[in-house]
Amino acid sequence: MKLINCIAPLYADIAMPSVFEALADLFFLNLILLYTVRAI
């Protein structure tokens, strides 16, 4: 989880277009949801 939290802001800063930022946010949200479901 900490790794994802560290990479997400970096990836958002690198991806300038808003479309890529939206896709990246969805991608990381899906990853976080997967890990949350597995943790439960």
Q: Which residue type, as a one-letter code, is found at position 12?
A: A
- Residue 12, pLDDT score: 61
For residue 22, the model assigns a pLDDT of 79
* pLDDT, tens digit, 9 for 90 and up, residues 1-40: 566 666 667 666 665 567 777 788 889 889 888 888 887 6
**DSSP letters spanning 1-40:** -HHHHHHHHHHHHH--SHHHHHHHHHHHHHHHHHHHHHH-
Contact 21, 12 (CB under 8 A): yes
pLDDT score of 23: 80
pLDDT of residue 17: 63
How many angstroms separate the CA atoms of 33 and 9, rounded?
A: 17
